[in-house]
Amino acid sequence: MRWRDRYGIRRLRGSRVAKFDREATDADIEALIAFARSRRGVEFYVEPETFATDTTAVAVADDGEWTRRRVGSPGVIHKVARDLALPVYDVQLTGYPPRMRAYNERRRREQDGV
């Protein structure tokens, strides 16, 4: 059976893959799509490829809840965002939204029992 490149991961990324990381898969993209469809106000933030990790995207909901997945290349998440009519930002240019940090702080306080 031939592997289908449903989201254009291989086509948009090309032959480059980070040395120590696994490749992005359809399941990674589908997890981002499911997150975006099940929450309000989702925005995507693209994180650059590094020597150790593939290009990733962080999906952040309006309450600050977030998830991170491999996407293979910025073009993949741009296509997904366009299909979902959601914004996508380059985290190196915009940084992370303050609501993401606030969410992390709330979670930490809940776990500490404060």
Q: Domain ranges in the chain? A: 9-112
Query: What does the pLDDT average to over 22-35?
Result: 92
- Among residues 43, 81, 46, 37, the alpha carbon closest in space to that of 59 is found at 43
Q: What is the pLDDT of residues 47-69, one digit of tens each?
A: 998 878 889 999 999 999 999 99
- Among residues 21, 22, 96, the alpha carbon closest in space to that of 66 is found at 96
Q: How confident is the model at residue 24 (pLDDT cuts 50, 70, 90)?
A: confident
What is the secondary structure of 67-111 as a DSSP string? EEEE-SSHHHHHHHHHHHT--EEEHHHH---HHHHHHHHHHHHHH
* Residue 2 confidence (pLDDT): 46
* Residue 35 confidence (pLDDT): 98
